[in-house]
Amino acid sequence: MTFLSAFLSLPPQHVDGWTSVPVDSNPHAVLGCVTTGLCFLQPFIALLRCAPDHRDRPIFNWIHWLVGNGAQVEETREMKKKKKKKEGKSVPHFRVGL
């Protein structure tokens, strides 16, 4: 937890803000923190796993699956967007509501 809080707070302090580009025109920094936070949560969600025959196991399975795949999809989407931007193509920015 200490590592995550340092990871999220030190870079903005180092550069006097999240980024020189406004977040509403390029949400890359915020979405990267969201993805990192979801990846950080996965092991702790796994610690809460109930027994295979417990009545709440399907709920756990869906939550664990959604958090893991949500992080992976977001990471892949951001990587592709960054690659297209490096190639000089215009890339639409999408807002993600969490």
Which pLDDT tens digit goes with each residue over 10-31?
555 555 566 666 767 777 777 8
- pLDDT band for position 98 (50/70/90)? very low
Q: What is the DSSP letter of 50?
A: -
Residue 34 and residue 96 in contact, taking contact as beta carbons nearer than 8 Å: yes
Tell me the per-residue pLDDT of 29-84, one tens digit each, with 9 for 90 and over: 778 778 888 888 888 889 989 999 999 999 999 999 999 898 888 888 877 877 77
pLDDT tens column, 2-11: 666 666 555 5
Per-residue pLDDT, 9: 59
Length of the chain: 98
